[in-house]
Amino acid sequence: MVKEFDKQVLYTTIMGVVESTFDKMCHVKFGAEPIVVEKDILEYNSRMRVFPMEKFNGPAYVASINYYLSPKDLENENAVGTFVLFVKEDVAEKLLRAFGYGSRDAENESLLFDNCGEFCNVLAGNVKNELVGLNYADLTMSAPSKYKNAVPEGVQFDYSLFKKQEVTFTFWGQKCIVVEACMGWVPQKAR
């Protein structure tokens, strides 16, 4: 039997991190309670398939980060966890401006890509730090990968997993971001 990370700890940590990050950085509260759904992981060529266009029925920016038990696992691409952030295209600029990334020219997609990647890095790093605070091992993180509308090659994930958690967040009266995450077994630190 495969050891898995407690999915409730994972999604409640994600919800707490997103809520506190939005509150601290831009003083914005959820428009509705986050929606958590467990979904099957669709795999192709040992990578998790992600489908940005179906999150919002339209264009979206995507950034992903992987977690590893050690720097050596990062080097060997042996992921223990995956954090994928989807940002609805028509709110991406508003969202990033709210986080203090400044007003961006909507035509300059490279800045939106970079800022979505930075935002993903902040959220995934805060999740990692919260898990350390809950006495889990300190994970190593990858740099963010950034996409728009499609992730043709998929993202790394712990190949022993079959389920992921999808958490949908509403701000400004609309569904703005979605986080998909999965986590394999992460040891707790000795007390």
Q: For the chain, which domains are there?
A: 7-183 (3.40.1550.10)
Phi, psi of 105 (to 5 degrees): -75, 120
Measure the CA–CA gap between 18 and 29, rounded to whole angstroms: 10
Measure the CA–CA gap between 22 and 10, rounded to whole angstroms: 18
Measure the CA–CA gap between 110 and 146, rounded to whole angstroms: 10
Q: Could you tell me the pLDDT band of residue 28, with boundaries at 50, 70 and 90? A: confident
pLDDT at 102 over 60: no
8 A C-beta contact, residue 128 and residue 53: no
At 24 the pLDDT is 82
pLDDT tens digits, 120-164: 999 999 999 999 999 999 999 999 999 999 899 999 999 999 999
